[in-house]
Structure 1
Amino acid sequence: MYTELQVFSDLSEKVHYNHAEFPLYAHKDKLSFYKYCAACHWHPDLEFIYIVSGEMDYFVNGKIIHLTPRNGIFVNSKRLHYGFSSEQRECIFIAVVIEPYSFFESGKYMKIFLESKFSIYTNDFILLNSKNNWQEKALKLIQETYKTMQEKIDNPLLIQAKITMLCSIISEQLRKEEHSKEDLQTRMIIWKMTHFIHKNYYKRIDAADIAEAGAVCRSRCFQLFKKQIGQSPNIYLMRYRLAKSCRLLVTTNITISEISELCGFQTLSYFSYVFRKELKQTPKSYRKINKII
């Protein structure tokens, strides 16, 4: 079952939990569902990824980690991240996402503990390797959690026990990291510039406008995007527009020409050219294959 990744204008993601009353998302996904490059996003939840088959790169706060089969990664709360494959190769993975403060409803003591471990001052991520003893346990718990969540939950304590153990294992390994004032300011600038793109992607904007939104010069804008997101602002804008167009293609009956205009492409021919170059198919064929209405 594949769930569309929804990102709000501040880059926070709306997480679709398996059960409304249970703040836990556990699904098996294909990287191709996200056009081989998920949107850069963050959420207050903790994220655990297990690679079933294939490989992909995972971007976390300016760093790129290569993930291979039977290994995975833990991504801490409120970190910019996304998975991708530059070669557009398929990768099947399990994603378990949990909102700790809702899941572990327990009072002041637990809240203090969670804040000390899953904060902006501890590790951004932990790479999980199946050859390491405690990391192998974490990887098995990710798989078991996914399997259990696909069944009818007759005993919620079973799920809670697995997630508690998983988070406990990770919390024991998290360490405080130094974050300079400059680093925090950089992240704020990035959020402002991406916020501007998400609010104005359908307009005729360029790198100069994006840089102005972050109150930096054009060269600094390119430097920050490359370092923090791994893409130039122009590529980020283009891919965001494409993501929006893909959604409209499969969920509406709007003409391709109208979609092109609504998503900020100046001409239909340019939209078709970029779409084919990035997704290896035409907008028409994409709509036909993926139509959901």
Structure 2
Amino acid sequence: MQMKNFMIDQNLKELTEHRTVVLPVACYETTINQNIHGYIQLHWHDEIQFVLILKGEAIFQINEDNLIVRQGDGIFINSGCLHMAKDKNESGCVYICLNVSPHFILPQELYTTYVIPYIKATNLPYLYIDPNEPWGKNILDALLKINQCIQQKSPYFEIDITMHLTLIWKSLIINGFQLEYDQMEMIKNHRIKQMLNWIYLHYTEKITLDDIARAGQLSRSECCRYFKRMLKITPLNYVMDYRIQKSLVLLQQSETNVTEVAYKVGFNSTSYFIERFRKAMNMTPLAYKKLTTQTPNSVVGANLLK
């Protein structure tokens, strides 16, 4: 099932309930450029995530790192880590995405020993899964089998899923990672989420650098360093790009016009909105509106939040 859009709360936490009817597990086949924004926007969730690229290639940003993942490759993304994904070189990237509640990976008696240390480690926000390594191949093969179980729903498929999940987790942890728990890293992740949360609550208002820095309990210079390091963009440019991102949904509504949208997303000038939109999307808001309202199934890729 393709998820073309998903809701996130003011903390960037994804609100989608990742589960089958009875299990806290969900598996999606996703074409990146079919998302309403043209890419998978920045978000996080409590579930751990496993990704297998079926076609093309993608750039994943996980916390402050960028990772290029190609057909046949996989990634593990840890619980609570900010991440987003963009198609690379218009490759038509398609991937399988498995989201699992950490509490469901192993029986409760094993959870404290074999799960908590890994989801709490600050040096394991993600892990590249190499299909040429035996442990990596085991994980990706099991991921495909879980996807097949959910699609086919054969008798006792829930039991089969739990068996494959156990194999996946064992294959992940037998690598013998030297786990670290850096308090400063935990604080940094918390502060960037605080600042992003503040932006998402106030993007329709006038926003200054002082406002954003105050939300993260940082100085102006430290605030800028956080955004440059983790998001590769300045705080105020992030605000502008986020406003453009929010405008995409509004422009696809037939009853709205460009000026109304500009003011709804926090611009106090229609001409400046058009200028920023053209720079981000390589077309005017009106052209985007005509394109998406006339051909609602088409998706125009966004070039935001690099």
Shorter-chain TM-score range: 0.7 to 0.9
Cα distance in 1 between the residues matched to 2:44 and 2:109 = 25
CA 178–113 in structure 1, closer or farther in 2 if over 3 Å, else same: closer
Tell me the distance in 2 between the aligned counterparts of 1:139 and 1:30. Answer: 18
Closer, same or farther in 2 for the Cα pair 1:205/1:221, shift >3 Å? same
Q: Distance in 2 between matches of 1:274 and 1:44?
A: 34
2:29 matched to which residue of 1? 28
Residues 224 and 96 of structure 1: is their aligned pair in 2 closer, same or farther, counting only changes over 3 Å? same
Q: Match for residue 2 of structure 1?
A: 2
Shift in Å at residue 217 of structure 1? Answer: 2.7
Q: Give the 5 Å matches for 1:1-293.
A: 1-3=1-3, 4-34=5-35, 35-85=37-87, 89-101=91-103, 103-104=104-105, 106-121=107-122, 123-152=124-153, 154-155=155-156, 156-173=158-175, 175-250=177-252, 253-281=255-283, 282-284=287-289, 285-290=291-296
Larger displacement relative to structure 2 (86-95 or 196-205) = 86-95
Q: Matched residue of 2:120: which SS? A: coil
1: CA distance between counterparts of 2:40 and 2:180? 28
Cα drift, residue 15 of structure 1: 2.9
User: What does the per-residue CA deviation read over 1:201-233, in whole Å, with 9 as the maximum and x for residues that have no partner?
Assistant: 111213332122223233322211121223322
Structure 1 residue 179: Cα displacement: 4.1
How far residue 97 of structure 1 moved from its aligned partner, in angstroms, is 0.8
Q: Deviations over 1:3-51 (max 9, x none)?
A: 2132211221123435243211211111213434422222111111111
Once residues 82 and 174 of structure 1 are traced to their aligned partners in structure 2, the CA distance between those partners, rounded to angstroms, is 27
TM-aligned CA distance change 1:79 to 1:245, over 3 Å: same
- Alignment deviations for residues 35-71 of structure 1 (CA, whole Å, 9 cap, x no partner): 3442222211111111111111111121111111110
Q: TM-score, normalised by structure 2?
A: 0.84
For the residues of structure 1 that align with 2:240 and 2:87, how far apart are their CA atoms?
Answer: 17
Q: Deviations over 1:182-208 (max 9, x none)?
A: 322222221211111111011121333
After superposition, the Cα gap between the structure-2 partners of 1:178 and 1:19, relative to the gap in structure 1 and judged at 3 Å, is closer
CA distance in 1, matches of 2:21, 2:65: 33
Q: Aligned with 1:94: secondary structure?
A: strand
For the residues of structure 1 that align with 2:50 and 2:77, how far apart are their CA atoms? Answer: 6
8 Å Cα contact 1:78/1:120 also seen in 2: no
Query: CA separation of 1:229/1:250 partners in 2, compared to 1, >3 Å: closer, same or farther?
Result: same
- Do the aligned partners of 2:50 and 2:77 also contact (CA within 8 Å) in 1? yes
Does the C-alpha gap of structure 1 residues 265 and 87 become closer, same or farther in structure 2, counting only changes over 3 Å?
Answer: farther
Length, aligned pairs only: 291
Percentage identity across paired residues of the two chains: 22
RMSD: 2.6
* Greater mean deviation of Cα atoms: 71-80 or 226-235: 226-235
Q: Which shows bigger deviation, 197-206 or 229-238? A: 229-238
Q: Output the CA distance in 2 between the equivalents of 1:108 and 1:137.
A: 24
* Partner-residue secondary structure (3-state), 1:59: strand
The TM-score, its normalising length taken from structure 1, stands at: 0.87
**1:92–1:209 Cα change, 3 Å:** same
213-222 or 245-254: bigger deviation? 245-254
Once the 2 structures are TM-superposed, how far is the Cα of residue 130 of structure 1 from its aligned partner? 1.5
Deviation by residue 1:134-181 (Cα, 9 ceiling, x = unmatched)? 101211222222232222354211222222221221132362433433
